[in-house]
Amino acid sequence: MRITIITLLLMACGATTTAQSTDPAAPAAPVTVASWNGGTISNLELDDNISTELTKLKAEFVGSTHEARQNGLDAMIGEKVLEAEVKKRGLDDIEALLKAEVSDKVAAPSEEEIASFYQVMARRMGGRSLDEVRPSIVTEIQRRGTAERFEAFMGEMRKAYKVEVSLPAPKMPRIPISADDDPFIGPEDAPITIIQFAEFQCPYCGRAKEIMDQVIEKYPGKIKMVHRDFPLSFHDRAIPAAVAANCANEQGQYWPMYDALMSNQRALTDADLLGHATKLKLDLDKWSTCLKDPAQVAEVQADFEDGSKAGVQGTPAFFINGIFLNGAVPLEQFTTIIDAELLELEG
């Protein structure tokens, strides 16, 4: 199977094109953009009115531009290092190097691997037999094996050639957002405040909790993580679950309830919530009375409104010292921002 250097580099690090920053400065003086009998609107008034939306767009542009540069740099480094290795070994070209170090080292899949792959993917096979789909299964297993071997080989090459990357992290725009008086975990004066907007019926929030646990573990004493409620309209148990957690907070048991709800997102009926409260040994009379307090739903709604004003449209959403990060993203996206923040604050 012939795999080209371009194909492998794309598989390893994504798109390789780089984007040029084109963030024009706003005009120094106001310019009228609308008028009517008795009034006008200037560009500065307009931008001030949609400042949150503009900041989000700028953050997305800056982030995606930096990611493109990182991918492009990785691809260029890979090609340069491979060229150096070709010269060192006296080979004809990069393709010969990759054949020796990648393609030739990927063994043909065994019958056991093929059968196992078929069992895992059987639902996607449309009822076709193993014999019918065998060629495509073999191709897919070899493709995956080739990609894994290529990444491993590139890691070896980067280490052997002592590659160092000094691409500066971009200065990310910040969105002003309040932690309000919502529950938090970690030191109150931690250098990094992460405000999370999430809800308990959202499966992506459950996955994000695992990442947040890793973030807190990776930066002991440096993270203050605040949870604010953002119940989505199509999740009918999001508000009751949020109220149940906030009422547990009245008894100092917010985070145990939070963990229980995030770990059992399909168990959010009234009976389930009562079960969680019972296991936590809450004062059930006080907890039940709290559930009926209209102020609890109002507090959840206030969180939702604050999140909406800050540009949150779905869950989970995070603000890391005001830097917006959307969705259940990998740990690396958190660490990139946090490392840059700590470097600036502590350096």
- Using only C-alpha atoms, what is the Rg of the chain? 26
Six-digit token pair at 140? 């897919």
Determine whether 170 is exposed, middle or buried from the number of CB atoms within 10 Å of its CB (0-12, 13-18, 19+): middle
Sign of the alpha-carbon torsion through 11, 16, 19, 20: positive
Quote the pLDDT of residue 52: 85
The fold for domain 184-346 equals Glutaredoxin (3.40.30)
Q: What is the pTM of this model?
A: 0.69
Q: Is the pLDDT reported for residue 28 higher than 90? A: no
CA distance 67 to 330: 14
Instruction: Report how far Cα 15 is from the mean position of its chain's Cα atoms.
Output: 18
Quote the pLDDT of residue 19: 38
Q: Is the pLDDT reported for residue 27 higher than 80? A: no
% of the chain exceeding 70 in pLDDT: 92
Six-digit token pair at 101? 């170090």
What's the mean pLDDT in 73-102? 96
What's the mean pLDDT in 272-292? 97
Which residues, in sequence order, are CB contacts of 263 under 8 Å at separation 6+? 206
Six-digit token pair at 297? 């739903």
By C-alpha distance, which of 95, 105, 79, 90 is closest to 16? 79
- Model confidence at 53, pLDDT cuts 50, 70, 90, reads confident
By C-alpha distance, which of 110, 125, 152 is closest to 11? 152
CB 192: neighbour CB atoms within 10 A?
20
Six-digit token pair at 56? 């989000």
Quote the pLDDT of residue 16: 38
Contact by Cβ (8 Å): 227, 193? no
CB 195: neighbour CB atoms within 10 A?
25
- Model confidence at 60, pLDDT cuts 50, 70, 90, reads confident
Lowest mean per-residue pLDDT among 100-104, 129-133, 196-200, 286-290:
129-133
Quote the pLDDT of residue 347: 65
Q: Is the pLDDT reported for residue 26 higher than 90? A: no
Domain boundaries for CATH 3.40.30.10 within the chain:
184-346
Q: Is the pLDDT reported for residue 10 higher than 80? A: no
Quote the pLDDT of residue 246: 97
Angle at 161 between CA 160 and CA 167, to 5 degrees: 125
Angle at 310 between CA 309 and CA 312, to 5 degrees: 95
Lowest mean per-residue pLDDT among 57-71, 183-197, 263-277, 314-328:
57-71
The pairing of beta strand 223-229 with beta strand 32-36: unpaired
What's the mean pLDDT in 84-95? 96
Residues in the chain: 347
% of the chain exceeding 90 in pLDDT: 76
